[in-house]
Structure 1
């Protein structure tokens, strides 16, 4: 039955890693709890709650519930645990640190990394999306990204960025194809970007906790709302399915909250 479940999931739009996670969860449950009944399902949920974070618990329960749907046992579906959202954004690079890092990379001649950081912070691109940018996209000022559901999201490249990037590409003689390459002339990997950013954080004495690829996407969102307070537009630019996901950027970062408290509270 698990094999049939796996084949069923493979025909959906779920990511490969998600399918693997769901199948592993179901196999684990069946191996350790045997019969699928309410008592065993609640026991498994209790085990998850005691040993894992809420997000992980819900991921496992989602796998179980998908299996219950597949086996026509919807009445046994398990309720998710409530995830308490933080009232602040955590580990987001500040605008000052972003500008400092960009300036240092430029001054030290790390042109490719200067543009990698700038592109992430000025377009809101996910690091996986960044790797799809080609010289041709610099010329037209945007890149169209296609999701699994067939939706199109346009990644806009600001004029000042495209102008400077075009100049850089001319200098290195790259007229077409992907622009972010490793020393072997192949596209750099997401892991390679994350690793190198940590290296630069250490090199320049920065907090390594805030220097990672997605941090610059967060910075894009924060800066955009600071300058143009249109949440619906930002949701479109970020590629969020729901505007509720985008609302987190209305919150201040932990460091911003600390500064305000330090400034305001004098009693």
Structure 2
């Protein structure tokens, strides 16, 4: 049955990581309960709630629900748990800190990392999308990313950044290939970027908790809405399928909430 389930997942063209996750959800269930029954499924959910964080609980539920589909028992599917959304954004770099970091990197000659930070914050790219940028994309001003479902998302490189990056590329005498590479000439890794950003945060006295790749995607979204209040367009630019996901950027960060309170509450 396990082999057949894996074949079923492969035929659905799921990613290797998703297949591994769904297989684990099934294996975890049968390590706890001998038979697939509705009552055992309910007990399984209780076990998940007591053991894991909400995000992981929903991940395991998604996996076992897929197995139920495979078994033809859709009517036994477990409902997902609702995660309470915090009323503020956490660990988002402020625009002031972003500009300070950017200017410091350029001033001190860390041009490579200056462009890493600049591209992350000015394109809104996810880190796994960002590492796909090539010299050719800078020349044309955008990169097209295709999702699992074959949907196209175009990530634009703003004109000022494009021109500045072209000058840098020409100085480096590069004509093609990945834009950001490691010392061996291979494409830089997501982990390598995250690690180096933390080092620069410490170097320049910025809270390391707000200096990580996805924080700059948040910065892009916040700054975009402050200058051009079009939530639907931002959702398209970020690649959100549901505009409700994008609404979080209408919220203030906890630091911004604190500043408002300190300025406004005087009674």
TM-score (norm 2): 0.97
Q: Distance in 2 between matches of 1:73 and 1:253?
A: 43
Maintained 8 Å contact 1:106/1:114: yes
Task: Give secondary structure in 1 for the equivalent of 2:104.
Answer: helix
Structure 1 partner of 2:62:
62
After superposition, the C-alpha distances for 1:94-127 in whole angstroms (9 at most, x for unaligned) are: 1011101111111111111000000010000111
After superposition, residues 1-267 of structure 1 pair within 5 angstroms as 1-267=1-267
Task: Give secondary structure in 2 for the equivalent of 1:116.
Answer: helix
- Please give the root-mean-square deviation of Cα atoms over the aligned residues, in Å: 1.0
After superposition, the C-alpha distances for 1:147-181 in whole angstroms (9 at most, x for unaligned) are: 12111111100010001000001111112111101
Equivalenced residues, count: 267
Q: Distance in 2 between matches of 1:82 and 1:71?
A: 26
TM-score (norm 1): 0.97
Q: Distance in 2 between matches of 1:151 and 1:77?
A: 28
Q: Distance in 2 between matches of 1:11 and 1:255?
A: 47
- Structure 1: where are the runs of 5+ without partners? none
Q: Distance in 2 between matches of 1:75 and 1:133?
A: 44
Q: Distance in 1 between matches of 2:130 and 2:78?
A: 38
